[in-house]
Amino acid sequence: MNSLLQIESLIAGPSETNIINELNLTIRPGEVHVIMGPNGAGKSTLSAVITGREDYPVRGGRVYFKGEDITQLPMEERARRGIFLSHQSPLAIPGVNNLQFLRFAVNSHRKAHGEDEMKPGDFLKKAREYMALLGLPEDFSRRSLNDGFSGGEKKRNEILQMLMLQPDLVILDEIDSGLDVDGIATISGIIKNYHNKNRALLLITHYQKIFETIKPDYVHIFAKGKIVKTGGAELAALVDAGGFEQFLGGKE
Amino acid sequence: MSEDISSFLKLCSEVASASPFFGDGERRFQKISERGKIRDKYQYLPSFPREALLAAGSGDAKNTIKNIKEEQFYFPDKDFSPAFIRNSESDPFALAAQSLPYQLVILDSNQFCLNLPEPLSRFVILVKHSSPVIITLHTHSSASVLFLLTSGSSVKVLADFTDSWSASFVSLRALVHDNASFSLETAQAVSGDLTIDAMAYLTGAGASADIASVNATAQGNFSAFVKIFHLADNTSSNQRLYSVAGRDGHEHFRGEIYAAKGTAEVKAYQVHKSLLLDDSANSNANPFLEIYTDSVECSHGSSTGFSDDAALYYLRARGISAEDARSLLIGGFVADGFFVFKEPDYFTTSFLETAGTILGQKIIISEEP
Ligand SMILES: Nc1ncnc2c1ncn2[C@@H]1O[C@H](COP(=O)(O)OP(=O)(O)O)[C@@H](O)[C@H]1O
Ligand SMILES: [Mg+2]
């Protein structure tokens, strides 16, 4: 089957530092990939590069999405084509209404696909439905984007955005941080339901808790800017038992 | 003039002559742009009417006294506006200011529209109405207004100086007696030079002053000088100023809090935020605290941010174009500024339009859907 996301020899990172260095990764529709790696290795940087952040410029290699070269494509265009990142630490933006922002986002997607704007009533109905599913309080429609949200609420809000935008590639950067055990169970259930044969998941995580619900097809160990080892779920167990040292090929 | 008003005026004149702070700020620096350079210029205000108060207290006949009861809208007498002395050898502002009479308005109506005559005017407004009074204030030019708030009165002043001429200087003073509350809400888009110089004297126990402002500046200077004097127990104040500066927009803020010796239970808060949209824009903020009592709860904070890349990325990562993202973020900043306004609807529509025009940037406020 054709790849959904294909990364070839990618070199990228902020201000002259190649935090991503010669990285290769292929994700096909329907797959679940997991990236594990030490703190500060560059996992969040990788996810930001995939979304097209201009402050993390690409200095080598290529990124393809649904068969097209998107290496130079602006962020918003990538999002509209179906790339979604649930941020590790979602940013608070005071004064910008949470749901109005989301309506804007939904309509930007629709416009890009030549569709009419969603009717405000339809939008609200759908958003409320998902908010209830995620256990988000009613007053979320009144609040500013992530402003004063708890860690868990921020993560749920990211998933609300995912549900409304219906992306094909979902990158979850430490979705489990900030959520309590029940929260992780709820959210992973929702993500599992969302996932289907046309959609792929890329999970960045330190914990295996989430694998109880979402079964990974591939586990990658990320270190020194690239993927140093790829395996199945058993690799995660090895990390748990012996840390990352075993994969790094000796001390620096 | 009724007995209570004259006794109140007498009290005011006593305060005026006794208070070492009164009359402060009659001559102030104003930031003026000249051929792309900013320079300080001494601006002679139509000065703070200490003598006006003294005269009013003694019922001096040469001053007009208007007793406003029924009229909702009031426009000052024509002959009350002296001719502007242009091209004078000496400073026209100084001359005009010195020769100006003041007009005393006794307000017994709960809505009042003060359209200040041009070019310079001095007003004393005595508020005796017991229910909250809304005063809308407009001027094209420099003006000086003193609000006298009798015990327990409450005034909301809504002021929009968007249409002010270049180099306007607006001086607002409030004398706030016990349990009276003064609120000033102001929003404007400025492309010339505008200075708002606002001071509140909280002279009676339980008095409060709230000053909230949202501004947009491009190719000009917006200066806000705010000073609150806490001169009695249990007084509280809030200053909250938000400013967006576009190309060649310069914002100057000086926010002062004074808490007098021996006062108790003073609460004074100050927030200043500015958003710079262009490399040529700047903002400088100077908070000053003069606190001479231990019984005070006080906070102040100032932040200046460039249009935030991280926030732009967050919005764009959801498919929103860079242009719309910018409009939403500026709108978010502005909405946050209007958040504490009690009468935001009076300002928002026209502010978004005029600010959008001078900043050359669409501003989108995202309200709850
Ligand atoms: N904008 C930036 N400028 C400079 N260094 C950065 C920037 N963003 C991240 N880094 C650095 O890149 C490295 C990788 O960070 P990150 O991708 O967040 O790691 P991880 O998600 O694997 O913990 C860290 O050393 C971090 O300090
Ligand atoms: Mg990270």
What would the pLDDT profile of B232-285 be if each residue is shown by its tens digit? 899 999 999 999 999 999 999 989 998 988 899 999 999 999 999 999 999 989
Say if B37 falls within a structural domain. Answer: yes
How many domains does one find in chain B?
1
Which has more pLDDT, A19 or B58? A19
DSSP 8-state code for residue B299: E
Contact between residue A103 and residue A128 where contact means Cβ atoms under 8 Å apart = no
CA-to-CA separations, B139 to A214, B162, B196, in angstroms, rounded: 66, 9, 12
Atom of ligand 1 nearest to the CA of A56: 1
Q: Give the per-residue pLDDT at B97.
A: 40
Residue B33: per-residue pLDDT: 59
Atom 9 (ligand 1) nearest CA? A45
What is the predicted pLDDT for the residue at B28?
A: 47
**A43 inside 8 A of chain B by CB:** no
CA distance B275 to chain A (A): 13
What rounded mean pLDDT belongs to chain A?
A: 93
Is A194 near chain B, with CB under 8 Å?
A: no
Look at residue B266 and tell me if it is in a domain: yes
pLDDT tens digits, residue range A13-50?
998 889 999 999 999 999 999 999 999 999 999 999 99
Superfamily of domain A5-248: P-loop containing nucleotide triphosphate hydrolases (3.40.50.300)
> For residue A96, what is the nearest residue in chain B, using CA coordinates?
B332
The residue that leads in pLDDT, B103 or A187, is A187
Predicted local confidence at residue B224, as pLDDT:
92
pLDDT band at A232 (very low <50, low <70, confident <90, very high): very high
Q: What does the pLDDT look like over B141-172, one tens digit per residue?
A: 777 787 888 889 999 999 988 877 666 778 88
Distance from C-alpha of B105 to C-alpha of B67, rounded to nearest angstrom: 6
**A141 to B310: CB separation less than 8 angstroms, yes or no:** no
Question: In the structure, what pLDDT confidence band is assigned to residue B39 with cuts at 50, 70 and 90?
Answer: low
Q: Which residue ranges have their beta carbon within 6 Å of ligand 1?
A: A 14-15, 19, 37, 39-45, 55
Higher pLDDT, A158 or B103: A158
Number of the ligand closest to the Cα of A42: 1
Q: Which of B311, B322, B368 is the closest to A76 by Cβ?
A: B322
SS3 A162: helix
Q: Tell me the two tokens of residue B272.
A: 């200043």
Whether B326 is in a domain gets the answer no
B126 pLDDT higher than 80 = no
In chain A, residues with a C-beta closer than 8 Å to the C-beta of B312 are none
Ligand 1: which of A10, A43, A45, A228 to mutate, judged by most atoms within 8 Å of the beta carbon?
A: A45
What tens digit of pLDDT does each residue of B332-357 get?
Answer: 999 999 999 999 999 999 999 999 99
Residue A76 sits at the chain B interface (C-beta within 8 Å): yes
Contact A75, A161 (CB under 8 A): no
Per-residue pLDDT averaged across B99-125, rounded? 63
pLDDT on residue B75: 33
Question: For a substitution probing ligand 1, which of A19, A43, A91 has the most ligand atoms within 8 Å of its CB?
Answer: A19
Q: Which residues contact A242 (CB under 8 A, 6 or more apart)?
A: none
Q: Tell whether the model's pLDDT for residue A116 goes beyond 70.
A: yes
List chain A residues with CB under 8 Å of B340: none
Cis peptide before A90 (omega within 30 of 0): no
Q: Residue B77 pLDDT > 70, yes or no?
A: no
Q: Tell whether B352 is covered by a domain.
A: no
Beta-bridge partners for B68: B107
- Best interface-test mutation with B: which of A54, A87, A93, A131 has the largest number of B CBs within 10 A? A93
Q: How much is the pLDDT for B240?
A: 97
Q: Pick the residue with more confidence: A236 or B369?
A: A236
pLDDT of residue B49: 42
In percent, the amount of chain B with pLDDT more than 90 equals 39
Q: Which residues of B touch A (CB under 8 A)?
A: 309-311, 313-322, 324-325, 328-329, 331-337, 339, 366-369
Atom of ligand 1 nearest to the CA of A55: 1
Question: Which H or E element spans position A104?
Answer: helix A98-112
From A66-75, A85-94, B78-87, B287-296, the region with the lowest mean pLDDT: B78-87
pLDDT at A159: 98
Look over chain B and give the mean of its residue pLDDT values, rounded to a whole number: 76
- The domain ranges of chain A are 5-248
Ligand nearest to the CA of A87: 2
Number of helices (H) and strands (E), helices first, in chain B? Answer: 6, 20
Which ligand is in closest contact with the Cα of A36? Answer: 1
Residue A73 sits at the chain B interface (C-beta within 8 Å)? no
Examine the pLDDT at A114 and tell me if it is beyond 70.
yes
How much distance in Å is there from the Cα of A204 to the middle of ligand 1?
15
Q: Which domain holds residue B57?
A: 5-307
Residue B32 vs residue A94, higher pLDDT? A94
Query: How far off is chain B from A207, nearest CA to CA, in Å?
Result: 26
**Quick one: pLDDT band at residue B309, thresholds 50, 70, 90?**
confident
- Beta-carbon contacts of A15 under 8 Å, excluding residues fewer than 6 positions away, are none
Buried b (16+ CB within 10 A) or exposed e, A40-78: ebbbbbbbbbbbbbeebebeebebbbbeeebbebebbbb
Q: Does B288 reside within a domain?
A: yes
pLDDT of residue B6: 60
The reply to whether B349 falls in a domain is no
Query: pLDDT digits over A1-15, tens only?
Result: 589 999 999 999 998
Lowest-pLDDT range of A192-196, B48-52, B100-104: B48-52
DSSP E strands, B140-202:
143-149, 154-159, 168-176, 181-190, 193-202
At A212 the pLDDT is 87
Distance CA B96, CA B115 (A): 19
